[in-house]
């Protein structure tokens, strides 16, 4: 049943939003007044969206979804649009990684990343977009990465994140005149538990990474959430098809330091 209230709280869908960075993006949109549904393969500690009345206040709920199943994506988004009275914001955040050199990368590993990071993004973009286009309004924020320019040992991840940039630009060009804005946020290195685990395991060198970031520090997840909230809001009403890099300058610096002038 659709929401009969004309002034209903807007619905934001954040895929992969039950934990990690996605959870923080979802919480930021909830703080902005959205009702937020977090489709994810795992529930973590979020309450499940049941069969009862939909939430009327800002808050987060979980529903089970594997974004690699296009039929399940369409059915889930159709159900959410009917129950909440429409879809106002989609944050295409669900993603996975597989770390391995190209010569040893298996096709199964490659396909797993492509299925989630590209096919899943496409399916969710299309499913939400159809409802937004019918309503003549909506905003999509796809999550890319600084890895989109290439990243050793992360071929499928880098390739899919580059494809997300192109898909964002294409969807932005197609849908802007019909009231739907599509943009992307590409985070750099973020100070998270996963990052700290990599440093502790020796697979990441914080010193080397910081030397490549002009801002000289890692991002806080809240800074990525700020960018997502901006692109999802009416404040970004004339921003279409763009990728906003939240990376401390990583993408604009080759990493070669300025030579010192002779004394």
Paired tokens of 121: 């993004």
Nearest to 227 by CA among 241, 245, 248: 245
Paired tokens of 237: 């009403």
In the set 157, 189, 238, 254, the catalytic residue is 157
Where would I find the beta strands (DSSP E) of 55-176? 59-64, 89-92, 138-143
**Annotation says 157 is catalytic:** yes
Contact 188, 148 (CB under 8 A): no
Contacts 24+ apart (CB under 8 A), 103-111: 105/155, 105/156, 109/156, 110/155, 110/156
Contact 180, 220 (CB under 8 A): no
3-state SS, residue 247:
coil
What residues are labeled active site? 157
């Amino acid at each position: 049943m659709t929401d009969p209230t004309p002034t209903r709280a807007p619905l934001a869908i954040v895929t992969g939003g039950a934990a990690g960075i996605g959870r923080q993006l979802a919480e930021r949109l909830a703080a902005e007044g959205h009702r937020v549904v977090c489709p994810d393969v795992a529930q973590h500690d979020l309450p499940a969206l049941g069969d009862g009345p939909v939430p009327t206040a800002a808050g987060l709920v979980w529903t089970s979804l594997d974004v690699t199943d296009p039929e399940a994506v369409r059915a889930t988004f159709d159900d959410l649009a009917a129950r909440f009275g429409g879809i106002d914001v989609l944050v295409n955040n669900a993603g996975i990684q597989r770390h391995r050199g190209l010569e040893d990368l298996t096709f199964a590993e490659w396909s797993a990343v492509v299925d989630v990071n590209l096919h899943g993004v496409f399916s969710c973009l299309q499913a939400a977009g159809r409802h937004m286009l019918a309503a003549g309004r909506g905003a999509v924020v796809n999550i890319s990465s600084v890895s989109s320019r290439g990243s050793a040992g992360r071929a499928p991840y880098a390739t899919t994140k580059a494809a997300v940039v192109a898909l964002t630009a294409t969807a932005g060009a197609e849908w802007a005149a019909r009231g739907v804005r599509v943009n992307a946020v590409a985070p750099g290195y973020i100070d998270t538990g996963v990052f700290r685990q990599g440093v502790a395991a020796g697979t990441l060198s914080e010193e080397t990474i910081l030397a490549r970031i002009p801002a000289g520090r890692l991002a806080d997840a809240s800074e990525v959430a700020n960018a997502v909230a901006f692109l999802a809001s009416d404040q970004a009403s004339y921003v279409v098809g763009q990728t906003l890099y939240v990376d401390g300058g990583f993408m604009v610096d080759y990493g070669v330091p300025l030579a010192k002038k002779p004394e």
